[in-house]
Every structure is written in structure tokens, then in C-alpha cells.
């Protein structure tokens, strides 16, 4: 791929913030280079099931270059996406708006009237991502609806708003969204395989909208490369920056260097924050001392419920087809994988609601000893995806971590309040109730049962907004304190717990932030 010696902007990462930035900057007349660590996947390249770990799992040390990454820290286990299109390749399409409390909490509170300020940008994000209401509920959704009725919350159960092209199932059509400027699409068949990559070409991932349109305007996207250095030209980058990067899919790769007038960090919390922490110690010493602070887990619980029924068909539908608002703080969604995608079964242990380690291990053994046949049936169920519904529980209630540079890499620390916990009483209670409805047993990832470390698919923060350099890494327009023409547009900019899937919010805030950058003269 041909690279110029210099660009107006270099974007590090191609997720929701990076893709928005690429298109909008190109529309303003800037030359743009996007550098993405992961591979470029066409819809037909995605794995048929998540047992194809070479295409599904990202672990470069083992030559696995898929779209799903799993990262372990002392206080949190994180699921994230990798590839051209970032998390949109592996996310569950769901595009809810947060409740009002989100806009008045955290380090960004009071910097703007955020709810009204962002409203038009949420509308733009909905349009660009092809948001539509799920037209077809399936077995796990009906189970959630029954749970809502049992909890006297029937009015709080709704189908999801999702970034999916429905159209006629399995029928190919010309671009239905952008007046023919986008790629051809095919109608959703509700197979449940959204999170292993949509082979149907129905999912509105970023390579089908923002990135596709950006490339049509001349944006260069270089996959399989990772930025390792950013050197300011001038003390505060007033003359631009030199960006150093290398190939991410080779053990040994020479360094490449490109000049940019501006830099946009869009690598997500796991890409942007470790890189900023590294650069603060070396070439960007004026970065805020709050870099890496205010990391939030969205107060999540991920609980797998595997049914003992003969043919529950819990895999049918969208990855997330419905939502239940449990109360003003809590939000519940049933998640599914497509037929045959049973990889997670080898990582699971029974859910045990006990914070104390010794009591928890004792309860685990007692649970297994009382019903060994039941647990063996669950372990060896014919099709784990067909028989399982994953409950995703989220809250906007706050507790924060920080990421720091340690001797062996990036490490987590507790910043404020209690450490995140997998033992959220409300989550475990609704999981038990839901399991009874589908005749199932609840399980969690083994690290939760053994170590008490929770898991999240929505890690946020680390480069949050603030009034000044002492209170945040970026200002209310996403500009980095201390340097000229550096911005952050990704999940690390989110400065409070949204309590819902954050992709739409990342897109909306990025749309607003980029709108503040003037057109090229």
C-alpha cells in the first residue's frame, strides 16, 4: 500500500470514534491516514463459528488474528474488538441512548449541557449506523418478557434499536442508506451470529458506512499495523508530529515513519490509554497526570444461562433483540451466539454468589457435588449456542479504576470506591429467575468464580474530559491538554457510566467533537 510522506491527520484505530473522524475530516478537505492494528475482513471472511479461533480470537503471540480480544487485569477482564471497523465487527449492534443521569455525572459534568448538546449528534449517529427497531423477537426475548411480567416491569420491556439492515431476508440489494454511495447489502436472517462477524452482510458495521464513505473520499486505511511512538515537532506539537508504527501481525517488523499535522487517538481504552501512558513517560511529557484515571466497567455482569430442554433454540434472533429496564439504575439484555458457536463453554464455571474466596470455593464444590449429572449435561450439551442465553446486566452506578505502566506492562489499580465486583446481587437474582423460566443453570467465566474478578464488554475512560489538565486529559471538545491538534475519540473519552451499550454514545460524541474542527483552508 502506498503511503505519503505526510498527512493532515493520522487516526490511530478504526472503531466508532476513528471511523467518524476519518469521514468527517475527509469531508472537510483534509488528507487522512487510518492505522489499524487488526486485519481487514470482508463479510465472507468471518468465521462460521467461534470455534474457528484463528479468525475469531485475537492473540498475535499464537498467530491468531481474529476480531475478538480478551484481556486480563488484576481487577477486570475485558472483551473488546479488533480489526478494520474496530468493535463494530464483534459488537451486538445495539444502539440505545443513555438515561439522563449519564449526562450530569463524572468529570464532564457541567462542562456543557450535554443532553441537549448531543441530541442532534445522536440523531446523526442513528442515521449513519442505520438504526432500526428489531422486528422479530425470539425465544430468549420472550423469556425476558416473561421475567418482566413476573417483576411487574412489563412496560419496561422493549425490542432493541439496532444497526442492522432488515429488508427482505437473504435478498441482496443496492446500498439502501447513502443514495448508492455505500456497498450492496443483504437482509438479516436472524441467525444470531452478529458477534462472530456477520457473514450475511446485514450488520451495519463501520466498514459499511463511515469507513466505506471515507475511503471513497480518498482516506487511506492501513490494517495490520500498530503505532508505537508519537514525537512532537516543537515542544507542544505546533509544527506537527512524527508517527512511528510497525506491522502487528509479524513477530519482527521494521519501523515506519509518517508526518502528520494532527493526531487522533481512537484505539479504544486498551489501545489509546496504554499508548498515552507510554508517551507521557517519553515524548509527550505535557500530557495530563490524569491519564489512565477514571476507568469504568459500566458496572456489568455477564451470566450464561444454559438450558436443559431438548431443543430450546436460544440462538435464533439478533445478538441482542430486547431490553428490560429493571429500575432507574439497571438495564438487562439477553445475548445470543449463532448455531455452533460454543467456544465459551470451555471457559465457564457455575455462578456462585459469595464474595469470600474460601466460602465461594466451598459453595462451588457443594453445587457440583449435589447435581453432578446436571452439570455434566450442561458441559456436554450438543450445541452450546442453541441452548444458552447470556444475560448482560449494566448499571450507571459508579466505581472507577486506573491503568498505570508497570514493570511488565499496563496494570490496573483501584482509584475510587470499591473495586468492581462480579457479585452484583441484583444481577445474580435476575439470572436465577431467568434460568428458571428457560429451565437452565447460570454460569460465569471461570476467572469470576475462582478469583472474584468481574468481566466487561464495555470498558470506558482513561482519557476523560475535564475543566483543565489537572482534572482531565481532554477538554469538552476532545482536544488533549498540553498539545496542539491532538484529539481523543473513542471509549476512553467517556467520562461517566452510561449504563447501556456505549457505541452510539461514542459515535455521537465523536460527531460533535469533529464538528468543532474547522474545514481545511
> Which domain CATH number covers 55?
3.50.50.60
Q: Which helix (H) or strand (E) holds 433?
A: helix 425-438
Q: Are 256 and 245 in contact (CB under 8 A)?
A: yes
Cα–Cα distance for residue pair 507/10, rounded to 1 Å: 18
CB 349 within 8 A of CB 446: yes
| HSE-CB for 60 with a 13 A CA cutoff | 14
Distance CA(345)–CA(477), nearest Å, equals 43
390 within some domain: no
For residue 81, which of 14, 22, 128, 20 has the smallest C-alpha distance? 14
- Examine residue 74 and state whether it is found in any structural domain, yes or no: no
Give dist(CA 86, CA 80) in Å, integer. Answer: 9
- Which residues are 389's β-sheet partners? 305
Please tell me the pTM assigned to this model: 0.96
- Nearest Cα to 381, choosing from 337, 440, 446? 440
Residue 48 resides in a domain: yes
pLDDT at 2: 75
In a domain, 415, yes or no: no
Distance CA 518, CA 486 (A): 14
72 lies in a domain? Answer: no
Q: Would residue 192 count as lying in a domain?
A: no
d(CA 435, CA 334): 12
Residue 210 to residue 15: CA distance in whole angstroms: 10
Task: Answer yes or no: are the C-beta atoms of 205 and 188 closer than 8 Å.
Answer: no
Phi, psi of 406 (to 5 degrees): -110, 180
**Which parts of the chain sit beneath pLDDT 50?**
none
3-state secondary structure of 111: coil
Separation between Cα atoms, residue 422 and residue 401, nearest integer Å: 15
- Number of compact structural domains in the chain: 1
Q: What is the dihedral of CA 438, 443, 445, 450, to 10 degrees?
A: 170
Displacement of CA 399 from its chain's centroid (Å): 19
Looking at 126, 212, 315, 458, which residue is catalytic? 458
Q: CA 389, CA 314: separation in Å to the nearest integer?
A: 6
Residue 206 CA to residue 193 CA, distance in Å, equals: 17
* Radius of gyration, CA atoms only, the chain: 22
Alpha-carbon distance 412 to 121, whole Å?
33
Catalytic, 2? Answer no
For residue 487, the enclosing domain spans 6-63+83-134+197-296+458-515
Chain center to CA of 508: 15
Specify if 451 maps to a domain: no
The backbone torsions φ and ψ at residue 147, rounded to the nearest 5 degrees and listed phi first, read: -60, -40
Q: Is the dihedral of CA 46, 51, 56, 62 positive or negative?
A: negative
Instruction: Determine, yes or no, domain membership for 263.
Output: yes
The confidence score (pLDDT) of residue 398 equals 66
Backbone angles phi, psi at 349, to 5 degrees: -135, 160
Amino acid at each position: 500500500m502506498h503511503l505519503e510522506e505526510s498527512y493532515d491527520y493520522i487516526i490511530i484505530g478504526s472503531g466508532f470514534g476513528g471511523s467518524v473522524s476519518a469521514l468527517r475530516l475527509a469531508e472537510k478537505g483534509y488528507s487522512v491516514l487510518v492505522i489499524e492494528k487488526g486485519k481487514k475482513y470482508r463479510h465472507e471472511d468471518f468465521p462460521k463459528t467461534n470455534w474457528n479461533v484463528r479468525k475469531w480470537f485475537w492473540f498475535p503471540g499464537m498467530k491468531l488474528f481474529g476480531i475478538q480480544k480478551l484481556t486480563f487485569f488484576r481487577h477486570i477482564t475485558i472483551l473488546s474488538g479488533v480489526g478494520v471497523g474496530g468493535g463494530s465487527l464483534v459488537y451486538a449492534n445495539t444502539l440505545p441512548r443513555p438515561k439522563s443521569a449519564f449526562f450530569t455525572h463524572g468529570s464532564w459534568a457541567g462542562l456543557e449541557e450535554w443532553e441537549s448538546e448531543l441530541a442532534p449528534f445522536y440523531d446523526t449517529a442513528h442515521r449513519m449506523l442505520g438504526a432500526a427497531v428489531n422486528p422479530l423477537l425470539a425465544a430468549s426475548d420472550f423469556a425476558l418478557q416473561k421475567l418482566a411480567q413476573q417483576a411487574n416491569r412489563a412496560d419496561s420491556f422493549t425490542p432493541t434499536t439496532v444497526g442492522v439492515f432488515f429488508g427482505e431476508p437473504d435478498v441482496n440489494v443496492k446500498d439502501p442508506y447513502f443514495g448508492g454511495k455505500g456497498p450492496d447489502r443483504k437482509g438479516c436472517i436472524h441467525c444470531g451470529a452478529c458477534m462472530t462477524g456477520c457473514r450475511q452482510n446485514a450488520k451495519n458495521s463501520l466498514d459499511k458506512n463511515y469507513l466505506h464513505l471515507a475511503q471513497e473520499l480518498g482516506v487511506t486505511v492501513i490494517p495490520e499495523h500498530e503505532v508505537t511512538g508519537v514525537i512532537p515537532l516543537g515542544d507542544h506539537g505546533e509544527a506537527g508530529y512524527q508517527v512511528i508504527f510497525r506491522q502487528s501481525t509479524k513477530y519482527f517488523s521494521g519501523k515506519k515513519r509518517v508526518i502528520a499535522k494532527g493526531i487522533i487517538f481512537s484505539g479504544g481504552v486498551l489501545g489509546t490509554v496504554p499508548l498515552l501512558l507510554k508517551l507521557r513517560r517519553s515524548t509527550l511529557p505535557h500530557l495530563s497526570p490524569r491519564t489512565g484515571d477514571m476507568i469504568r466497567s459500566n458496572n456489568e455482569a455477564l451470566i450464561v444461562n444454559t438450558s436443559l430442554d431438548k431443543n430450546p433454540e436460544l440462538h435464533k434472533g439478533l445478538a441482542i433483540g430486547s431490553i428490560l429496564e429493571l429500575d432507574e439504575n439497571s438495564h438487562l439484555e439477553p445475548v445470543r451466539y449463532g448455531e455452533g458457536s460454543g467456544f465459551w463453554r470451555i471457559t465457564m464455571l457455575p455462578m456462585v454468589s459469595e464474595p469470600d474466596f474460601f466460602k465461594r470455593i466451598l459453595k462451588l464444590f457443594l453445587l457440583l457435588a449435589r447435581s453432578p449429572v446436571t452439570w455434566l449435561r450442561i458441559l456436554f450439551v450438543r450445541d452450546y449456542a442453541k441452548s444458552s442465553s447470556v444475560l448482560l446486566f449494566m448499571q450507571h452506578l459508579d466505581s472507577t479504576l486506573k491503568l498505570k505502566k508497570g514493570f511488565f506492562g499496563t496494570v490496573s489499580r483501584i482509584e475510587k470506591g470499591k473495586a468492581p465486583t462480579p457479585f452484583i446481587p441484583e444481577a445474580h437474582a435476575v439470572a436465577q429467575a431467568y434460568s428458571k423460566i428457560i429451565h437452565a443453570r447460570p454460569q460465569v467465566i471461570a476467572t469470576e468464580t475462582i478469583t472474584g474478578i468481574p468481566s466487561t464488554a464495555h470498558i470506558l475512560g482513561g482519557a476523560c474530559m475535564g475543566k483543565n489538565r489537572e482534572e482531565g486529559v481532554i477538554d469538552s471538545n476532545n482536544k488533549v491538554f498540553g498539545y496542539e491538534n491532538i484529539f481523543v475519540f473513542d471509549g476512553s473519552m467517556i467520562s461517566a457510566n452510561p449504563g447501556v451499550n456505549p457505541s452510539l454514545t461514542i459515535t455521537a460524541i465523536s460527531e460533535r467533537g469533529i464538528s468543532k474542527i474547522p474545514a481545511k483552508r
